[in-house]
Amino acid sequence: MNRQFFLGHAPVDVLFTKNASDFVVNEIPLYPFSGEGEHLVLHVRKKDLTTWDMVQYISEVTGAKVRDIGYAGLKDKDGMTTQYISLHKSFEPKLANFSHEKIKILDKIYHNNKIRTGHLKGNRFFIRLKKVNPVDAMKLKNGLKKIKEEGFPNFFGYQRFGITGKNYELGKEILQGKRKERNHKMHEFYLSAYQSYLFNEWLSRRIEISRVVEDFDINEAVNILKFPKNVVSELKKQKQFFKLLQGDVLHHYPAGKAFVCESLEAELPRFLARDITITGWLVGGKNIRAEQEAGEIEAKMFAESEPFLSKMNGSRRFAWSFAEEIEFTYKEEEAWFEMHFSLPKGSYATVIIEELIKDTL
């Protein structure tokens, strides 16, 4: 993939391992639980297990069917993660003597409804990088400050593309009729990988455009990008790194509706204030499409998918997102760089790490 980075520093050589000590994820629920109702909500901590593995074990212990156990999102297998799951309170007695070396029930509370997929605000991360020298520690500090000020490109992480990174190719083969996948979940997973791949390619192109506008004068940028001079001149006036274009599909942030940008003058202050953000297309179906300059780029980047649109459920995804409550410290004696930050649902902490070290994991 043609991955582009927005931070300007040189690559950083560090050691990152997704283990229970160096990678910790805590789910942030969408709303407070009521304390009453028919559903038992468990605050669960797991280590080196997938959410599926954990849910399956809870099912075996309680007798609750897997489909009746609710969760907001899938958490990484590697590392230490906490999340909330729900099941009917009639199964609570079966958990009285619950014990598992990799699963711990931290707390219980009742609630009126089953937890549904997507019902989370986001996740809070702790990440430790090792073998970090003082020079690279300064790059990491400045990079996190830049992300705090401006946000970050909301790429799909490597987890989306499988061990080989080629799941998107399987999705494309399914769409072309060259491959059949009888397992419905895997069929949808491969198609999603293809959508994610195209999204990442488009986002890399937009970062590349922003970089050219940042680093070159107007005439040089016109020559490189083949954009009209008046368009480049307007982009040059934008102070933030990621440049918005006329016709971009914007979205209220963190929730609301998508709409086409008809006035950059009106929308730029809202983007800088984080009231809105830009979205990219997850190809398929009948979705709102970019127009004008932004539409020309979108049409070119997604051209290969046009024959297959009716075979996929499309949507829009935040292309630029924002990390909150960023904290970091450098422990020079141990050569450790530690950071905490919170991300909205759907964003990958590994993308932040890749941006900081200027390399893919």
Residue numbers annotated as active site: 76
Closest residue by Cα to residue 54 from 38, 42, 40: 42
Q: Looking at the DSSP assignment, which residues form a beta bridge with residue 83?
A: 44
CB 91 within 8 A of CB 64: yes
CB 217 within 8 A of CB 244: no
Q: Looking at the DSSP assignment, which residues form a beta bridge with residue 120?
A: 29
Who's near 28: CB < 8 A, 6+ residues apart?
120, 121, 122, 123, 124, 342
Who's near 23: CB < 8 A, 6+ residues apart?
17, 76, 78, 79, 80, 125, 126, 127, 128, 349
Q: Which two tokens stand for residue 101?
A: 């070396």
Q: 3-state secondary structure string, 195-245? A: HHHHHHHHHHHHHHHHHHHHHCCHHHHHHHHCCCHHHHHHHHHCCCCCCCC
> How far is Cα 142 from Cα 138, in angstroms, rounded to an integer?
6
**Torsion from C-alpha of 302, 307, 310, 314, nearest 10 degrees:** -10
Closest residue by Cα to residue 38 from 105, 93, 114: 114
CB 318 within 8 A of CB 98: no
> How far is Cα 344 from Cα 194, in angstroms, rounded to an integer?
23
- Residue 224, Cβ neighbours under 10 Å: how many? 15
